[in-house]
Amino acid sequence: MTTVPLPLPTRRADLLAQLAQPRVYDLVVIGGGATGLGVALDAAARGFSVALIESHDFAKGTSSRATKLVHGGVRYLAQGNIALVREALHERTTLLHNAPHLAQPLAFVMPSYHCWESPFYGVGLKMYDALAGKAGLGATEFLGRERTLQCLPTARAEGLKGGVKYWDGQFDDARLALALARTAASRGALLVNYCAAKELVHEDGRVAGVVCEDTETGQRHTLRARCVVNATGVWVDALRQQDGEATGRSVKPIVAPSQGVHIVVDREFLPSSHALMVPKTADGRVLFAVPWLGKLILGTTDSPRHNIEYEPLPFHEEVAFILRESARYLSRAPTAQDIRSLWVGLRPLVKPQDDDGNHTKSLSREHTVLASKSGLVTVTGGKWTTYRAMAEDVLQKCFSSGLLDVRPGGVTVRLPLVGAPTGPVQHRMCDAQGWHSYGSEADAARQLPGADALLGAGITEAMVRFAARHEYARTVEDVLARRWRLLFLDAREAAALAPAVAALLQQETGADPQLDAFMALAAQYLHVPA
């Protein structure tokens, strides 16, 4: 086999040594989800010195719990938000181009059980195509009854009139987040997971840095910066409150979190490469049945949530709603006993207020970027599809607030992410995980010991070693939930593989792989609320 240069190492001792060096960064980002990682990459690509810290693992929270769709937002079109849809469609194309090994086009079918549904939704989807223009992934088609059943072989046939087929995108959210982190690192950024922001540093009433703590050792470091970005998602108000208290200002919360539940079952309930989409369920919400990595994701609902947790539990009513609505559209509907994994994502819905409590508007989409009088820049809201545009808006706020010198943007529009192959890509995301998700790094990963030593579920010893050496993995959860998505696909199988993964991680890192914590988490992902 030809020797392939290995990617950048992510040895934690080296990362912490860099963190301890006294220097002033142009930008320190707090939060390692899609938004924070996007900001770090954009800033590093423009040549700024950047450090990013994350209290847990990259994409531990909301950013690994999406419905796995890269989309323009058909719902927003119905609301008349043309600007948001147009921008999201543009960003959809950019994402598919920059990470073709992690994102792909996906066909959706809306089954019609009333004569008015196909023409009604079809006209809207034709407008969706028009807004996409050359960035479209495929033309919307009106389907007859038989063609609809060919695309959705287990759709309820009784009363079926036809359907509408349209195209959007699908991706692996956690692995895309990891690709953003590693691409930013390749551009000179320092990124450290399991490193929590403990307090902001203020000098003369201005934010001048952040004190962070290595959660594994308890050691603290002070990172000085010209600009600090608060990109902690549903948790942004905690840092904003701290900033306000330090400078004697009243700060009103801007986030009202909601949660979406996702149920994962076997593909036999919809054995198709097409996704099913119901635009309006019994109570007006949207229902998806999406093939992903060999399983089927059912969801999602949005329910207000008042307490914020890293591992939120689903409400009984949400699970019952998804199963009940699935039974209305599938000839054989899954039951609670068929659930392979059950997980919840928190979404930061924004109350658009600035730091003085005045009503304001987000820049041009569903996210908000604020700069406090002390110079803390906060970004929240939005969605995965527009992470790159959000990052550009954050940098623009840093410029307009006088925190950073202006540098030209657009540098990430055609910036391939780590692993992006240069040649044709065989999209297989609907089928299963495999070496193809490593893209151009597959040969390098195979060079590690254990490339043919299969642990199970397509995971080899070499993949675990690669995660530890080159992908920042520290715990069993890091490997089985985010480097590989097994916890999200089949929690019982993930638990079965966990001891072997823990032993390899212990060998590779010398750190506690937290096996017991993972086993408890796997049990939670199998628990259906009564």
**Residue 367 and residue 502 in one domain:** no
Range of the structural domain that residue 492 is part of: 447-525
In a domain, 324, yes or no: yes
User: Where on the phi/psi map is residue 495: left (φ > 0), alpha (ψ -120 to 50), or beta?
Assistant: alpha
CB atoms within 10 A of CB 249: 17
Q: Would you say 293 and 433 are in contact if contact means Cβ atoms under 8 Å apart?
A: yes
**Residue 363 and residue 338 in one domain:** no
In a domain, 514, yes or no: yes
Backbone angles phi, psi at 463, to 5 degrees: -65, -40
**Residue 192 and residue 157 in one domain:** no
Question: Residue for token digits 């801007």?
Answer: 254
368: CATH: 3.50.50.60
In a domain, 328, yes or no: yes
Last residue of a domain, one of 313, 347, 381: 347
Q: Which of 445, 195, 154 is nearest to 326 (CA)?
A: 154
Q: Would you say 466 and 175 are in contact if contact means Cβ atoms under 8 Å apart?
A: no
Last residue of a domain, one of 319, 347, 375: 347
**Residue 133 and residue 278 in one domain:** yes
Cis peptide before 35 (omega within 30 of 0): no
**Residue 150 and residue 264 in one domain:** yes
Position 97, amino acid: H
- Please give, one letter per residue, the 3-state secondary structure of 487-521: HHHCHHHHHHHHHHHHHHHHHHHCCCCCHHHHHHH
Beta bridge partners of residue 224, listed in sequence order: 24, 209
Gap between the Cα atoms of 142 and 478, Å rounded: 43
Burial 490-521, CB ≥16 within 10 A → b, else e = bbebbbebbebbbebbeebbeeebbbeebeeb
Give me 455's structure tokens.
């642990």
Gap between the Cα atoms of 346 and 341, Å rounded: 17
**Residue 267 and residue 382 in one domain:** no
Q: H-type helices in 47-172, by residue range? A: 74-78, 82-98, 117-132, 145-151
**Residue 157 and residue 92 in one domain:** yes
**Residue 203 and residue 283 in one domain:** no
Gap between the Cα atoms of 372 and 502, Å rounded: 44
Q: pLDDT of the chain along its 530 residues, tens only?
A: 445 567 999 999 999 999 999 999 999 999 999 999 999 999 999 999 999 999 999 999 999 999 999 998 877 776 777 888 888 999 999 999 999 999 999 999 999 999 999 999 999 999 999 999 988 999 999 999 999 999 999 999 999 999 999 999 999 999 999 999 999 999 999 999 999 999 999 999 999 999 999 999 999 999 999 999 999 999 999 999 999 999 999 999 999 888 999 999 999 999 999 999 998 888 888 899 999 999 999 997 778 888 888 899 999 999 999 999 999 999 999 999 999 999 999 988 887 554 433 333 332 347 899 999 999 999 999 999 999 999 999 999 999 999 999 999 999 999 999 999 987 766 666 667 789 899 999 999 999 999 999 999 999 999 999 999 999 999 999 999 999 999 999 999 999 999 999 999 999 999 999 999 999 999 999 999 97
In a domain, 76, yes or no: no
264: CATH: 3.30.9.10
Cα torsion angle, 464, 10, 443, 43, sign: positive
Q: H-type helices in 159-310, by residue range? A: 173-186, 236-247
Q: Which of 124, 136, 31, 133 is nearest to 80 (CA)?
A: 124
**Residue 93 and residue 225 in one domain:** no
Cα torsion angle, 79, 83, 86, 89, sign: negative
In a domain, 73, yes or no: no
**Residue 261 and residue 335 in one domain:** yes
Give me 317's structure tokens.
């009513």
Number of domains forming the structure of the chain: 3
Gap between the Cα atoms of 206 and 118, Å rounded: 57
**Residue 266 and residue 329 in one domain:** yes
In a domain, 143, yes or no: yes
Cα torsion angle, 172, 174, 178, 181, sign: positive
Gap between the Cα atoms of 388 and 93, Å rounded: 12
In a domain, 415, yes or no: no
Last residue of a domain, one of 400, 429, 463: 400
Cα torsion angle, 519, 522, 528, 530, sign: positive
In a domain, 52, yes or no: yes
**Residue 504 and residue 458 in one domain:** yes
Whole-model pTM: value is: 0.95
